[in-house]
Every structure is written in C-alpha cells, then in structure tokens.
Structure 1
Amino acid sequence: MTTQVSGRKMYLAGKWVSRDRTIPVYDPQDHSIIDTVPAATKEDMLQAIEAAKIGAKAAANMPVHERMAIIQKAADYIEERKELFARTISREGSKTIREAYKEVKRCIETLRISSEEARRIQGETISFDQMPGSENRVGYYYRFPIGIIGAITPFNDPLNLVAHKVGPAIASGNAIIVKPATVTPLSSLLLAEAFARAGLPSNVLSVVTGYGNEIGDVLVTHPAVRMISFTGGLEAGEEIIRKAGMKKIGMELGSNSPVIVLEDADLREAVESAVSGAFWAAGQNCLGVQRIYVQESVMDEFQQAFVERTRSYRVGDKQSELTDMGPLITEKEAIRVEHLVNEAIEKGAVLLTGGERNGAFYSPTVLINVPDDCTIAKEEIFGPVVLLYSVPDLDTAIQEANDVNYGLQAGIFTNNIEKAFRAIKQMDVGGIMVNDSSDYRIDSMPFGGVKGSGLGREGIKFAIQEMTEPKVVCFKL
C-alpha cells in the first residue's frame, strides 16, 4: 500500500500548526513512510501550557451538559469514520486491521462512557454535628477539576489509550496536553480532529508531537501542569516521578502477567484464551499473557494443545482480514525480543516453537524450563513470547506468579470456586480474571496495578477521581 506523504499538522491550543522540522512516521511492516508530523520544540510545549492555563478556566466553567454533548459529538465523528481511524491505527502501529477495528470500537465506547460519567461527578453532605460544638454547622463537599493535565501515551494503543486520558479530562472540566508516542502520533491527531469538529473550545486540548527528550521534561516539570498521566515502561515512569515535583501522578507501567491453569479447568478454553492473550498486537500489550503456570497433572496435554494452537497463528500482512498477528513496532524492538529469547535458551530454556525473526516480525514463541535468572522471566517482554511452567499445586503457582516486581492483572482457569477465591485473595495484582486470561478489560472498570505496575487507576470514573479534588463547604448557622 502506498500513501502520499502530505505532512500532518499538530494541534496546538486549538490551531493546526506545522513546523519546518518534521518526524517521519513509518509503517513497521515494510518501513515505508506513511506521513510526517511536526517536531515540536521546547517553546511549542511552553506555548501549549500557557494556552492550557486559559483552557483550564474555560473547561472548568463549561456546563456539564456542554461537556457531555462535545464528547458525544467526538464519538459520533469517529463512528462515522471507523475505517479511516482503523486504517490509521493499523498502518502506523503493529495491529492487524481486525485488531484496529476493535480499538476504534473501544475508543467510541470510552468517549461515550466519559460523557455519561460527566453527569455523575458528585459530592455528599457532611454531618458536622458529629463533633461536639458543631451543632450549628451544615455543609458538604464537591469535586472540582485540578486544572492542566499532561498525558504521555504509548504506541501500542495509539487511539484508545489517548481517549482514556482525554475523555475523562474533558468530562471533569480540565485542560489536557497530550504528548503521543513518537512512532504512532497520527491516531491521536485524528482524535484531536474529532474534538475540534465537535466544538471543543480552543486551548482545552493540545496534541504536541515531538521527541520526548526535547519536549517531555517541559511538560513533566512545569508547575502549572497539575497532573501527569503516563502509560509506558517502568524505567521511564520512575524517571518521571523523580522529575515531576509536587503534582498528582497517574501511571500504568506494564507487567509480566501470569495465568494459572488448574487440573479441573476447561483446557480448550484456557488454551484459546491464553494464546489470544499472549499474541494480541504482537504481544505488545501491558495485559498480555507472559507466564503460564499449569498444574503438572495436565501439563503435557495443555502444552501440546498450546503449541499446536500457537503454530496455527497466522502472521503476515496487517491489512489482511485473515492475519492474526503483524510485526512489532520497529525492527529494533524485534531484535530486542530476539536477544531476550536467545539469552534464555543459552541459559537452558527449551524452545517449543517460534524464535524466528524477519525484520520487524517475530514469530509467536513458546519456551519451557526458563531459568529464574533470565531477564525474560522477571521483566516485561512486550513481545510475542510465552513461558510455560509446570507446578504441583495452586499454592506454588500463586507464590511463583507473585515473585516479580509487577502486578497489573492475572488470570486463573478453574472450576473450583474455593480455589478461585484463594487466588483472588492472595495474588498481588490490580485485577484477576477467573476463567479468562490476564488480557481482559472493559473500559469502565478500574484499571491499574500494584508494585512496579503503576500508581492510581484508569477507567473513566476512576480517572475522573484522579483528575479532580474534593472541596469542603461548611456553613455556620
């Protein structure tokens, strides 16, 4: 597929602007240039922040019904252009066209939920007379927007993860500045276009494209920016925390997600769910299945079925409806995954299938007997690689599943309700899916993790809680 490179503009304080210096956007499948975007400067980001100061006041004073209507209109705009949005996601990123259409559908849902939650930002009355001497006082609290939110978003969900920050920010009356991933900026610019067409006031939203090392620190450290919402890697997240200063932080920092399969599980269902969870978006998914702990009595049966299903996974052209998995986001990322797998094999891991790289493509890979001192056993792979472990019982599985510095989500397959609840109570994660893989989420649920997987929660209602503060009002009668 060829694309005429016209040069996209970035959305800076309600205006579409270009810059002489640009960044090429590549299709990872063939490394062809899809388009270019402006390479913003420090001065551009400062301009966005100054405009957002005005935008934050306008957003806070916008009636709730207007916020709701604008967000709904933006969702309508996307729904009317589903194919454009899906093709853009698939071209600039790793997702197949089928995966991209699902992301567009989720984005529309995210925005519609954001619109609905705008009407439910509520406080409550306070019984001041619970304190002796306060019998003549009455009051309440309400939630108010914090002001300017800085959003730094990743490449793996270039539309919906942006919507998960923009939708709640606008619903709660804040201004927001988005710094999208350098390799996938086009989808976020389309989202900005949807809000511009929906009538969002100028200065409330900016999407500033550029290199993180040139504009990221300006956004993170500026005192006028009252919250940083970041989705990305643990190392980058820790660096942001060190730099951000006195402001709110919301972070989703990935994982090394475990799935437990017990002997009483429906193995066919477990295999199908875990394979999908492992290789969705070429494994570049914070919820992706990375470690599977299988009770030893069914290990051989599960392993055989899992490898067979993995080998049937169709890797190829992202734009084909028949393709199950496309390339990683760059060849550099595929090489990184290749090195991690090779390190594990050199230390004694056994390769059951996969382990082959062709440019940015890396075949779905399954390993067993992975030593604990391998990087791939403890860190996030963020690629299409799964590790299988045989365990004698549930307690061992839980202990080993918890033995990493991550805890986003987990899955367990069992028909024993007592064992399911034991896992629910004892697993150190932000969410546990019973008879489903770790890779399950709806956009309205609280989403986030423990340990190195992040701080705070997303999911529209819960993001709004993070993006607002309570103010107490007390009347002395």
Structure 2
Amino acid sequence: METTMQSKPMFLAGRWVQREESIEVFDPQDGSLISSVPAATEDDVLLAIEEAEEGAKRSASLPVHARMRILNDAACYIEDHFDLYAETIASEGSKTIKEAVSEVMRCIQTLRLSSEEARRIQGETIPFDQSETGEGRVGYYYRFPIGIIAAITPFNDPLNLVAHKVGPAIASGNAIIVKPATATPLSALLLAEAFEQAGLPPKILSVITGRGGVIGDLLVTHPAVRMVSFTGGLETGERIARKAGLKKLSMELGSNSPVIVLKDADIAAAVDATVSGAFCAAGQNCLGVQRIYIEKDLYEEFQMRFVEKAGRYVIGDKQSLATDMGPLINEREAERVQQWVEEAIENGAELLTGGERSGAFYKPTVLSNVPSNCKIAIQEIFGPVVLLYEAAHLEEAIDKANQVPYGLQAGIFTRNIESAFKAIQELHVGGIMINDSSDYRIDGMPFGGVKGSGLGREGVKFAIQEMTEPKVVSFNLFQR
C-alpha cells in the first residue's frame, strides 16, 4: 500500500486543530514517514479540561437513547470505512493487515456493546426498614457519571484499546480526554472522526496528540480530572498512581503470562494456541504467552512441535496476507528484546530457535532452561520470545507460574476437571483460560489482573462500573 504523507490535526473538544510543532509518525517496518500530528502543549491540556467541564454536563444530560444512537452510528461509520481503519493500524503500528482487520472488527463490537450496556446502568431499591431507624423510609440508589476521565493508551492496540475507554465513558455520560501513544496516534484520531460523524456533541471528547513528558503530568494531576484510565507499563503506572492524587484509577499494566500444559492435554491444540499466543502482534501483547510449563512426560514432544511451528512463522511485509508477524514498534525495542535474550543465554539458557534481529524485526524466539533470576524470566518481555520449562507435576507448575510480580491471565491445557479447578483456585491471576492460551479475551468480560498487572477491570460493562458512582436516595414518608 502506498501512503501519502499528510499532517493530521488533533481533536480538541470537538474541533480539529493544528499546532506549529509536530510529532512525526513512522512505519516501523521500514522507518518511512507516513504522517505527522500536532505536539500538544500544557495550554492545550488546560483548554481540553476547561471544555470538558462543560462537555461532562452535556454528556450527563444526554438521554440514554441518544448515547446508544451515537455509539451505534460511530460503529457503523467505522464499518463503512473499514479498509481505511485497518490500513492505518497496519501502517503506524506493528500489526499485520490480518491482525489489523481483527482489531477493527473488535472495535466495532466494543462500540456496539457499549451502546447495549448504556441501557443497563441500573441501581436497585434499598430496604431501609432493615434498621429500626429506617422505618417509614423508602429509597434506592442509582449510578451517576463521575465527570472528566483522562485516558492514556498504548501502541499495541491503537484503535480497540481507545474504544475500550471512549465507548464506556460515553455510554455512562462522562467526558473523556484521550492521550494516545505517541508512536500510534492516527487510529485514535480516526476514532474521534467516527464520533464526530455520529453526532457526538462538542466538548465531550478530545484526542490530544502530545508527548507524555510534556502533557502527561498535568493531565493526570489536574483536580478537575476525576479518573485516570491507563494501559501501559508497570513503572509508568506506578508514577501515575503516585502523582494523580485523590481520584479514581483504572490501570492495566501488563504481565508475564504463564500457560501450563499437562500430559493429558490435546497437544496439537496446545501447540497451536500457545504459538499464536506468544507471537501475535510480534509478542507486543499484555496477554501474550511468555512462559510455558509442560508436564515432564509430554515435554520433549511439545518442545519439538512448538519449535517446529514457531520456525514456520512467516515474518515480513505487514500489508501482505501471507505474513504472520511484522516488526516491533521500533528498532530500539527490538534491540532491547535482543539484549534480554542474550543475557539469558549468557546465564545458561538454551536457544531453541530464533534469536536474530534485522532492524525492528526480531524472529520468533524460543528459549529453554532460563534461570529464574534472568530479567526475561521475571519481567514482561513485550516481544516475540517464549520460555519453555519442564514441570514434574501440576503443583510445581502452579508454584513457578506464581513466582513473578504480575498476575493478568493464565492458561492451562488438560482434560482433567480436577486439575483445571486446582489451577483456577491457586493461580494468582485475574483470569484463567482452560484449554486456551493466556491470550484469549472477549470484549464483554471483566479484564484486569492482580499484583503488578493493575487496578480495576476493563471490559465494557465493568469499565462503566469504574466510570460511575452510586448515589443513595432516601424518602422519609412520615415526617412530623
């Protein structure tokens, strides 16, 4: 696909604006310049927040049927311009065109699900007379929007992860200011275009394209911002939590996801799912499979099949339907992955396949016997690398799976229901997939983790709960 270089304005409180300073957007595949966007300043953030205060009032006063229509119309707009959205994702980010198509489909589903959940923001009656002092009183609670939400989104899902914040925010009657990843702002701007075309009133949504070091602190610390929804790395999340002050925080901070494969598993299904889970989006996936614990009797066959399938992965042009995996988001990230792999090998790990870098491309890499103190065994690699371990039994696999500071999702392959439930009870994670890799997710489920994997839950219904507060109403019917 040929891409014409064109500067894109940012969406500031319902207006498309340019700025003198810009941020260049590159295709990580070949380093070509594909666009530029405004470099927002602190003044832009202050203006967005000031306008969002009015936008929050407008959003809260929108009747539910209007919110539903806007969300559905935005989904229809994306559907009508499907190829543009997919090509943009595949140009500015790491995803292949096949992966980009899947992301656009999920974004459409996320917005339609947000529309449906808008009608289900409900409260319930409260039996006040459960207390002696409550006799003669009746009442209920309902949920109200919290106001202005700041959303900070990552590069790896530049459209759908933005939709996962914007959709629930609009469904629940809030205003939202999005700061997309500097590397991949174009998809978020296209999402804003869909909402503009759908008739979203001005000031409810802003998409500000700026550098985090310039505008990030002001956006998350401003007292008018009542919630920060962040998806990204643990260190950045911890910094935001320290600075944000007294406001709601919703954070998905990554993982080092384990999968357990027991000797009674369907080995072909386990290999297929874990190879895909390890290397989709070049491994730049918070749910990506990073560690696999294989029961001893199955280890050699599983390793042979896994390495063989990983070696057949097609790496190359993102725009080709024949390509399985594209580059990492930039060469610097590929170099970091290479360094982590080399450190593990220097400390005794065995390289089974891969381990080669060309620019931002890094071959699917499989390691075994990685020492537990290596960085790659503890931290989130966020690249196409997976570690294979032999486990004597399920108990050992669970124990080792839990020995990292993350706990987002896990997977287990087994035909034994007792083994499955043991893993369900004992793995320290926010979600466990039985006979699936850790990478499985639908947009309607609660999504989040424990330990260093974050706070709160995403998934449309659950994000709406985070973005609203309960208000109690009581009527004293027998006043004197």
TM-score normalised per structure 1: 1.00
The AA in structure 1 aligned to 2:185 is P
What does residue 336 of structure 2 align with?
336
1:20: Cα distance to partner? Answer: 0.9
**What CA distance in whole angstroms lies between the structure 1 residues aligned with 2:41 and 2:296?**
56
For structure 1, list consecutive stretches of 5 or more residues without a partner in the other structure: none
**What CA distance in whole angstroms lies between the structure 2 residues aligned with 1:273 and 1:129?**
54
Matches within 5 A, 1:81-230: 81-230=81-230
What does residue 437 of structure 1 align with?
437
**What CA distance in whole angstroms lies between the structure 1 residues aligned with 2:133 and 2:333?**
65
**Partner deviation per Cα, 1:321-364 (whole Å, 9 max, x = no partner):** 00000000000000000000000000000000000000000000
**What CA distance in whole angstroms lies between the structure 2 residues aligned with 1:31 and 1:46?**
33
What does residue 11 of structure 1 align with?
11
3-state DSSP of counterpart to 2:373: coil
What does residue 69 of structure 2 align with?
69
**What CA distance in whole angstroms lies between the structure 1 residues aligned with 2:377 and 2:4?**
43
**What CA distance in whole angstroms lies between the structure 1 residues aligned with 2:369 and 2:118?**
50
What does residue 304 of structure 1 align with?
304
1:4: Cα distance to partner? Answer: 1.9
**What CA distance in whole angstroms lies between the structure 1 residues aligned with 2:369 and 2:398?**
18
The AA in structure 2 aligned to 1:222 is H
**Partner deviation per Cα, 1:389-445 (whole Å, 9 max, x = no partner):** 000000000000000000000000000000000000000000000000000000000
Aligned partners of 2:229 and 2:251 also within 8 Å: yes
The AA in structure 2 aligned to 1:296 is K
1:315: Cα distance to partner? Answer: 0.4
What does residue 318 of structure 2 align with?
318
**Partner deviation per Cα, 1:87-139 (whole Å, 9 max, x = no partner):** 00000000000000000000000000000000000000000000013210000
How large is the RMSD of aligned CA atoms in angstroms?
Answer: 0.4
3-state DSSP of counterpart to 2:254: coil
What does residue 251 of structure 1 align with?
251
What does residue 32 of structure 2 align with?
32
The AA in structure 2 aligned to 1:228 is V
**What CA distance in whole angstroms lies between the structure 1 residues aligned with 2:367 and 2:265?**
22
**What CA distance in whole angstroms lies between the structure 2 residues aligned with 1:275 and 1:451?**
26
**What CA distance in whole angstroms lies between the structure 2 residues aligned with 1:3 and 1:96?**
16
What does residue 460 of structure 2 align with?
460
Give the percent of matched residue pairs that are identical in Structure 1 and Structure 2. Answer: 71
What does residue 451 of structure 2 align with?
451
**What CA distance in whole angstroms lies between the structure 1 residues aligned with 2:23 and 2:134?**
62
**What CA distance in whole angstroms lies between the structure 1 residues aligned with 2:380 and 2:267?**
26
The AA in structure 2 aligned to 1:54 is E
1:5: Cα distance to partner? Answer: 1.6
**What CA distance in whole angstroms lies between the structure 1 residues aligned with 2:68 and 2:93?**
30
**What CA distance in whole angstroms lies between the structure 2 residues aligned with 1:226 and 1:151?**
11
Detail structure 1 runs of 4+ shifted over 6 Å in the superposition: none
**What CA distance in whole angstroms lies between the structure 2 residues aligned with 1:177 and 1:155?**
17
Aligned partners of 2:78 and 2:85 also within 8 Å: yes
3-state DSSP of counterpart to 2:4: coil
> Is 1:355 the counterpart of 2:359 in the alignment?
no
The AA in structure 2 aligned to 1:272 is D
Aligned partners of 2:27 and 2:34 also within 8 Å: yes
3-state DSSP of counterpart to 1:388: strand
What does residue 369 of structure 1 align with?
369
The AA in structure 2 aligned to 1:335 is E
1:2: Cα distance to partner? Answer: 3.6
**What CA distance in whole angstroms lies between the structure 2 residues aligned with 1:298 and 1:464?**
44
What does residue 261 of structure 2 align with?
261
The AA in structure 1 aligned to 2:191 is L
3-state DSSP of counterpart to 2:134: coil
Matches within 5 A, 1:266-285: 266-285=266-285
**What CA distance in whole angstroms lies between the structure 1 residues aligned with 2:399 and 2:279?**
25
**Partner deviation per Cα, 1:367-391 (whole Å, 9 max, x = no partner):** 0010011000000000000000000
1:80: Cα distance to partner? Answer: 0.7
**What CA distance in whole angstroms lies between the structure 1 residues aligned with 2:251 and 2:373?**
27
1:161: Cα distance to partner? Answer: 0.1
Aligned partners of 2:261 and 2:292 also within 8 Å: yes
Aligned length: 477
1:3: Cα distance to partner? Answer: 2.2
**Partner deviation per Cα, 1:160-213 (whole Å, 9 max, x = no partner):** 000000000000000000000000000000000000000000000000001000
The AA in structure 2 aligned to 1:307 is V
- Greater shift after overlay, 3-12 or 35-44? 3-12
3-state DSSP of counterpart to 1:133: helix
**What CA distance in whole angstroms lies between the structure 2 residues aligned with 1:20 and 1:2?**
27
Aligned partners of 2:6 and 2:34 also within 8 Å: no
Aligned partners of 2:25 and 2:36 also within 8 Å: yes
What does residue 407 of structure 1 align with?
407
3-state DSSP of counterpart to 1:418: helix
**What CA distance in whole angstroms lies between the structure 2 residues aligned with 1:445 and 1:270?**
23
What does residue 419 of structure 1 align with?
419
3-state DSSP of counterpart to 2:239: helix
Matches within 5 A, 1:361-400: 361-400=361-400
3-state DSSP of counterpart to 2:381: coil
The AA in structure 1 aligned to 2:456 is G
What does residue 231 of structure 1 align with?
231
